[in-house]
């Protein structure tokens, strides 16, 4: 194990971690449900194309929808049964999304859509990358960018470094932590497969030093694969791509640039597991580990849920609630999405289901910026959040663009420290949407 704590990114915050609620609880496999409601568009990019109809019988792992383009991902059935309905349900952002309802036959019979690649170290990289695409694998950390696209750098972009993000810097979330402890061999083999596809020798796993057991577990085995495990300081957003690259390599991704511009590809630690399973076990991505937590949750912990599991059922499996929470969030408290009901279902990027207490929920206001500069100190992207927020309030989009609002990663550090409780991230989201619309026009 090596330590690179001398390289610090600028800004960031250290909220109450809340990880003690679930970090010691081993992953539990959720029981087979009677029904799953599988949202089709579970990734950034083009929506997939539905290939089943109501009344069709399907097997576990069978293709429900195929990729709708290069930047897209297929979706597979979480169990065997019948396509019982085509629905429109609320997604994590409150928008209506197309979904397929699968009524289980109770048999849970597999139909593997492809063959195993057991000798993957002698396979062609293009075949391994195609397997990742066919398995429907996307980034499991939140953005849900199709993994095969990240593994396809354009000509002229020489990649020499693969980084696996094991920081899990979002408060309360512990799913990645448990995956590193309980599926360490799959993590490392998946990382090696990703490195084979990219043809790189520099492989790093970055883990915040509040997870010493995960650091020790992976460090003990990583040498066999030529992987370096490096511990990082605890500082949100340590797991953001640009901050992680800087902490591990000292390279700075330019404004408006991507990790590929400095020779790096970053994958979430939990993404490596389905990569291994797709290649070695011929399994498509039909499940993920999700943290269900919060002070009001009866039994906080980590569950392996199949895609399409209702959020209400996930909460029920955790014992329900001891009292009424102040807010229900899909994801973490900094970058997750608040839910007005429990109609959403578990998706490929559902890292957490968090119930915040009323005392922990801040109410945004329309107070004027007091020019304290705390948001400037906290911003890890070296932006001027106060200036950008005022520009957005006044709908002066050209100023927002000139001051690099498009580089904002919406981490929420500025909102967290703002004494005026201004809705800064919401301002930036709107500004980016307006600028993107103008660019399209």
5: pLDDT confidence band, cut at 50, 70 and 90? very low
Give residue-wise pLDDT tens across range 10-55. Answer: 999 999 999 999 999 999 999 999 999 999 999 999 999 999 999 9
pLDDT of residue 171: 97
Residues 6 or more apart whose CB falls under 8 angstroms from that of 366 comprise 422
Category of 7 on φ-ψ map: left (φ > 0), alpha (ψ -120 to 50) or beta? beta
Helix or strand (DSSP H, E) at 227? strand 227-232
Q: Helix, strand or coil for residue 60?
A: strand
- 405: nearest Cα among 84, 414, 250, 54: 414
Crossing angle of helices 175-182 and 212-222, rounded to 10°: 40
Q: Please list, in sequence order, all residues whose beta carbon lies within 8 angstroms of the beta carbon of residue 102, skipping any fewer than 6 positions away.
A: 35, 36, 37, 38, 58, 77, 78, 79, 81, 82, 83, 84, 308
Quick one: residue 61, left, alpha or beta (phi over 0 = left, psi -120 to 50 = alpha)? Answer: left
Mean pLDDT of all residues in 97-114: 96
pLDDT at 276 over 60: yes
Residue pLDDT, tens place only, 294-338 = 999 999 999 999 999 999 999 999 999 999 999 999 999 999 999
What average pLDDT does the structure give for the chain? 95
CA distance 252 to 267: 17
Phi, psi of 128 (to 5 degrees): -65, -40
What is d(CA 233, CA 206) in angstroms, rounded to the nearest whole number? 10
Global confidence as pTM = 0.95
Instruction: Sort 60 into a burial class: Cβ within 10 Å, 0-12 / 13-18 / 19+.
Output: buried
Domains of the chain: 1-29+116-361 (3.40.50.11540), 374-440 (no CATH)
pLDDT at res. 118:
84
**pLDDT value of position 365:** 81
Residue linked to tokens 């511990």 = 231
Query: Given the DSSP bridges, would you call strands 57-58 and 81-90 parallel, antiparallel or unpaired?
Result: antiparallel
Give residue-wise pLDDT tens across range 200-221.
999 999 999 999 999 999 999 9
Please check the confidence at residue 344 and state whether its pLDDT lies above 60.
yes
Distances (CA, A) of 67 to 47, 83, 309: 7, 19, 22
- Distance between first and last Cα of the chain: 51
Asked whether residue 375 carries a pLDDT value surpassing 70, the answer given is yes
Backbone angles phi, psi at 68, to 5 degrees: -95, 10
Closest CA to 348 of 300, 303, 316, 308: 308
Tokens linked to 292: 């269900």
Q: Where residue 75 falls among pLDDT bands split at 50, 70, 90? A: very high
Burial class (CB within 10 angstroms; exposed 0-12, middle 13-18, buried 19+) of 381? buried
Which residues lie closer than 8 Å to 212 by C-beta, 6 or more apart?
A: none
pLDDT of residue 2: 41
* pLDDT band per the 50, 70, 90 thresholds, residue 6: low
Give the model's pLDDT for residue 275: 98
Pairing of strands 81-90, 96-104: antiparallel
| Separation between Cα atoms, residue 221 and residue 409, nearest integer Å | 33
Question: Tokens representing 411?
Answer: 């981490």
Rounded CA-CA distance 284/96 in Å is 26
Instruction: Tell me what percent of the residues of the chain surpass a pLDDT of 90.
Output: 92
- The pLDDT value given to residue 1: 38
Give residue 4's pLDDT. 46
The confidence band for 360, taking pLDDT boundaries of 50, 70 and 90, is confident
3 state SS of 146? strand
CA distance 162 to 150: 11
- pLDDT above 80: residue 432: yes
Long-range contacts at 242-246 (CB < 8 A, ≥ 24 apart) = 242/9, 242/380, 242/381, 242/409, 243/9, 243/12, 243/380, 244/163, 244/165, 244/167, 244/206, 245/163, 246/7, 246/9
pLDDT value of position 332? 95
Q: At what angle do helices 125-134 and 184-198 cross, to 10 degrees?
A: 120
The DSSP secondary-structure symbol of 339 reads E
């Amino acid at each position: 194990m090596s330590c690179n704590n001398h390289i610090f990114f600028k800004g960031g915050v250290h909220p109450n971690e809340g990880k003690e609620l679930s970090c010691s609880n081993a992953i539990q496999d959720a029981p087979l449900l009677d029904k799953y409601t599988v949202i089709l568009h579970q990734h950034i990019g083009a929506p997939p194309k539905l290939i089943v109809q109501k009344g069709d019988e399907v097997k576990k792992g069978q293709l429900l929808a195929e990729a709708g383009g290069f930047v897209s991902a297929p979706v597979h059935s979480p169990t065997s049964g019948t396509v019982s309905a085509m629905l429109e349900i609320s997604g994590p952002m409150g928008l209506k999304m197309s979904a397929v309802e699968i009524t289980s036959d109770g048999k849970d019979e597999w139909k593997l859509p492809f063959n195993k690649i057991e000798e993957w170290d002698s396979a062609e990289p293009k075949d391994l990358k195609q397997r990742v695409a066919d398995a429907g694998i996307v980034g499991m950390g939140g953005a849900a960018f199709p993994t095969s696209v990240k593994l396809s750098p354009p000509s002229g972009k020489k990649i020499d470094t693969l980084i696996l993000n094991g920081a899990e810097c979002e408060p309360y979330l512990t799913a990645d932590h448990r995956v590193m402890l309980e599926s360490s061999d799959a993590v490392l083999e998946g990382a090696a497969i990703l490195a084979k596809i990219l043809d790189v020798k520099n492989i790093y796993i970055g883990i915040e030093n509040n997870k010493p057991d995960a650091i020790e577990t992976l460090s003990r085995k990583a040498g066999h694969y030529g992987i370096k495990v490096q511990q990082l300081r605890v500082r949100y957003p340590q797991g953001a791509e640009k901050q992680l690259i800087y902490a591990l390599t000292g390279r700075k991704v330019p404004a408006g640039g991507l990790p590929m511009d400095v020779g790096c590809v970053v994958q979430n630690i939990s993404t490596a597991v389905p990569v291994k399973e797709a290649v070695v076990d011929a399994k498509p991505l039909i499940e993920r580990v999700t943290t269900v937590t919060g002070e009001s949750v009866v039994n906080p912990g980590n569950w392996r849920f199949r895609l399409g599991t209702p959020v209400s059922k996930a909460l029920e499996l955790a014992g329900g609630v001891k009292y009424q929470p102040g807010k229900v969030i899909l994801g973490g408290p900094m970058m997750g999405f608040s839910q007005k009901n429990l109609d959403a279902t578990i998706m490929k990027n559902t890292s957490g289901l968090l119930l915040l207490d009323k005392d922990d929920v801040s109410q945004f206001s329309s107070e004027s910026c007091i020019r304290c500069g705390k948001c400037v100190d906290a911003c890890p992207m070296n932006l001027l959040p106060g200036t950008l927020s005022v520009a957005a309030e006044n709908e002066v989009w050209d100023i927002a663009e000139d001051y690099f609002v498009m580089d904002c990663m919406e981490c929420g550090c500025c909102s967290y420290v703002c004494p005026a409780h201004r809705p800064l991230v919401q301002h930036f989201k709107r500004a980016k949407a307006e600028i993107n619309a103008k660019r399209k026009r």
